[in-house]
Amino acid sequence: MSKGKFITIDGVEGAGKSTQIDLICSYLHRKGIEVVRTREPGGTEVGEKIRSVLLDVENQEMHSDTELLLMFSSRNELIQNKIIPALNDGYWVVSDRFTDASFAYQGGGRMLNLDRIAELEDWVLGDFKPDLTLLLDVSVEVGMARIESRAAKDRIELEEREFFERVRSVFISRSEAFPERIKLLDASGAVDDIHSKIRALIDSL
């Protein structure tokens, strides 16, 4: 059995990740490809517990380094116990967010040193990386407007607009630094138009 492919999808809040992942999974199923869908932080039993701590609005005092380390702890659990076994069994894995989000949110948003994040990436991932990363890019304004009607915001969503502008800017720089892997897509248009661009990228895998 051949190894599966690993696709990650990222972007600021409200970029449409979940919407596009639904369509990607249906598309892969129609092509006869078995898919494991997951998310970060979370995606495993331990990871989901870490996610609750990370997003809990009660934890306002959490130190930024703690936040970063928890993101990578959840990621390690996911890679070792879910992603690598699934890929080895021939499944394709689609993850709602991955390591690029740590560079964008903790590096950009929290202004942590990007080299230190790269050290953690090296420790936890080694040579392992996604086959394709879809970066859905919308302005912070558009993203926020799309999620405005949600009942409650989580701990990170409570941040100021400037925080999310820095997040977006690091995402864009990463897509320029790693153009082979990270494909930036203008996600401000219609859902179907974005999906057809994504299908073309998936077909090229």
* Residues near ligand Z5A (CB under 6 A): 11, 13-19, 40-41, 71, 96-97, 101-102, 105-106, 146-147, 156-157, 187, 190-191, 194
**Whole-angstrom Cα distance, residue 99 to residue 8?**
9
If the CB atoms of residues 1 and 160 are measured against ligand Z5A, the closer one turns out to be 160
If the CB atoms of residues 38 and 106 are measured against ligand Z5A, the closer one turns out to be 106
Least distance between ligand Z5A and beta carbon 105 (Å): 3
Least distance between ligand Z5A and beta carbon 31 (Å): 22
**Integer angstrom CA distances of residue 4 from 61, 82, 98:** 40, 13, 17
If the CB atoms of residues 18 and 66 are measured against ligand Z5A, the closer one turns out to be 18
Least distance between ligand Z5A and beta carbon 2 (Å): 28
Least distance between ligand Z5A and beta carbon 167 (Å): 8
**Whole-angstrom Cα distance, residue 119 to residue 198?**
31
Question: Measuring CA to CA, which residue among 177, 166, 174, 156 is closest to residue 52?
Answer: 156
If the CB atoms of residues 90 and 150 are measured against ligand Z5A, the closer one turns out to be 150
Least distance between ligand Z5A and beta carbon 18 (Å): 3
Locate 203 and state its tokens: 């077909």
If the CB atoms of residues 4 and 121 are measured against ligand Z5A, the closer one turns out to be 121
If the CB atoms of residues 18 and 89 are measured against ligand Z5A, the closer one turns out to be 18
Least distance between ligand Z5A and beta carbon 64 (Å): 10
